[in-house]
Amino acid sequence: MRPRLGRVLLFFALFALSNKHRMTNMSEIIDGNAISKAIEQELAGELSGLNMPRRPCVAFIRVGEDPASVSYVKKKGRVAGEIGIESRLHVLPESVSQQELNSLIDTLNADDNVDAILIQAPLPPHLNERDTFNRVRADKDVDGFSNANLGFLCQEDSRAFVACTPAGIIELLKRSGVETKGRKAVVVGRSLIVGKPMALLLMKKGIDATVCVCHSKSQDMKAICSQADILIAAVGRPMTITADMVKEGACVIDVGINRVPSDKTKSGYRLVGDVDFENVAPKCSKITPVPGGVGPMTVAMLMHNTLAAYKRHMNLL
Ligand code: GUN
Question: Partners of 303 in the beta sheet?
Answer: none
In this predicted model, what pLDDT tens digit does every residue of 234-266 receive, in sequence order? 999 999 999 999 999 999 999 999 999 999 999
Domain contains 285: yes
- Tell me the pLDDT tens digit for each residue of 117-170: 999 999 999 999 999 999 999 999 999 999 999 999 999 999 999 999 999 999
CATH of the domain at 203: 3.40.50.720
The pLDDT tens digits of the residues spanning 176-224 come to: 999 999 999 999 999 999 999 999 999 999 999 999 999 999 999 999 9
According to the model, what pLDDT value does residue 20 have?
Answer: 43
Instruction: Write down the mean pLDDT value for the chain.
Output: 94
**Domain check: are 274 and 195 in the same one?**
yes
CA dist 68 → 16, 50, 61, 307 (Å)? 38, 34, 14, 25
Number of the ligand 1 atom closest to the C-alpha atom of 164: 6
On whether both 156 and 169 belong to a single domain, the answer is no
Q: Is the CB of 198 under 6 A from ligand 1?
A: no
Do residues 137 and 71 share a domain? yes
Contact 152, 160 (CB under 8 A): yes
Beta carbon of 302 within 6 Å of any ligand 1 atom? no
The residue segments making up the domain with residue 153 are 53-160+298-313
In a domain, 179, yes or no: yes
Same domain, yes or no: 69 and 144: yes
pLDDT number for residue 228: 98
**101 and 127 both lie in a single domain:** yes
Kindly state whether residue 265 falls inside one of the protein's structural domains: yes
Q: Does 149 share its domain with 188?
A: no
CA 72 to ligand 1 centroid distance, Å: 8
Reported as a pLDDT band with limits 50, 70 and 90, residue 317 is confident
- Helix, strand, coil shares of the chain, percent, nearest 5, are 45, 15, 40
Give the CATH number for residue 108: 3.40.50.10860
Q: What is the pLDDT of residues 18-69, one digit of tens each?
A: 444 455 567 999 999 999 999 999 999 999 999 899 999 999 999 999 999 9
Does the pLDDT at position 16 exceed 90? no
Assigned domain for 92 exists: yes
In a domain, 308, yes or no: yes
Residue 301 CA to ligand 1 centre (angstroms): 12
Q: Are residues 245 and 290 in the same domain?
A: yes
Q: How far is the CA of 119 from the centre of ligand 1 (A)?
A: 8
In a domain, 266, yes or no: yes
Q: How confident is the model at residue 17, as a pLDDT? A: 47
Tell me, yes or no, whether 268 and 288 share the same domain.
Answer: yes
Number of domains within the chain: 2
Separation of 275 CA from ligand 1 center, angstroms?
Answer: 20
Let me know if residue 28 belongs to a domain: no
Residues 192 and 268 in one domain: yes
Q: Catalytic residue positions?
A: 76, 120, 143
pLDDT of residue 194: 98
Q: Which residues contact 120 (CB under 8 A, 6 or more apart)?
A: 60, 61, 62, 63, 69, 72, 73
Q: Is residue 309 in contact with ligand 1, taking CB distance under 6 Å?
A: no
Same domain, 198 and 289: yes
With a 6 Å cutoff on the Cβ, whether 120 touches ligand 1 is yes
Is 15 part of a structural domain of the chain? Answer: no
Q: Is residue 180 domain-shared with residue 290, that is, in the same domain?
A: yes
188 with 169, same domain: the answer is: yes
pLDDT tens for 252-309 read: 999 999 999 999 999 999 999 999 999 999 999 999 999 999 999 999 999 999 999 9
